[in-house]
């Protein structure tokens, strides 16, 4: 796929959200193995990842432009899993990154980070 103007290139394990400004990647780990989440775009601002089977969504993510509201980009994520997950959201324009972690054996704790990126244009 062609690279977005911001430098994010969508791929099998990468979501490019908010006009390609934000790169989103997920990694999972179990006692039996580890891997990269497989990315599925659901629109300009949201997407999901599967880990073991394409028909079994494990993680949903969205990055919202709230710059006109409070000067931030917001990150929301919810998991339908209890495996270890490392979610990374990177502002490819500014180089800032936010990382979210869910430990193995625990229900995924929802992410509602309304102060994720104070990198508005």
pLDDT in tens, 49-101: 999 999 999 999 999 999 999 999 999 999 999 999 999 999 999 999 999 99
Number of domains into which the chain is organized: 1
Residue 113 reports pLDDT greater than 80: yes
Give me the pLDDT at residue 89, please: 98
Residue 31 backbone dihedrals phi, psi, to 5 degrees: -65, -20
pTM recorded for the entire structure: 0.93
> If DSSP codes are grouped into helix, strand and coil, which group holds residue 36?
strand
pLDDT band, residue 7 (cuts 50/70/90)? confident
Range of the domain at 43: 15-117
Residue 88 counted as domain residue? yes
Distance of CA 11 to CAs 33, 72, 97, 100, Å?
22, 26, 19, 21
Residue 48 counted as domain residue? yes
Chain centre to alpha carbon of residue 44: 13
């Amino acid at each position: 796929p062609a690279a977005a103007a911001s430098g994010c290139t969508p791929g099998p394990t990468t979501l490019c959200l908010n006009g390609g400004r934000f790169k989103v990647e997920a990694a999972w780990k179990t006692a039996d193995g580890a891997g990269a989440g497989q990315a599925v775009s659901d629109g300009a601002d949201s997407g999901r990842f599967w880990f073991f089977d394409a028909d079994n969504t494990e993680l949903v993510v969205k990055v919202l432009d709230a710059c006109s509201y409070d000067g931030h980009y917001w990150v929301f994520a919810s998991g339908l899993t209890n495996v270890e997950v490392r979610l990374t959201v990177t502002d490819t324009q500014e180089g800032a990154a936010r990382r979210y972690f869910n430990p193995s054996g625990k229900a995924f704790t929802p992410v509602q980070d309304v102060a994720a990126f104070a990198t508005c244009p």
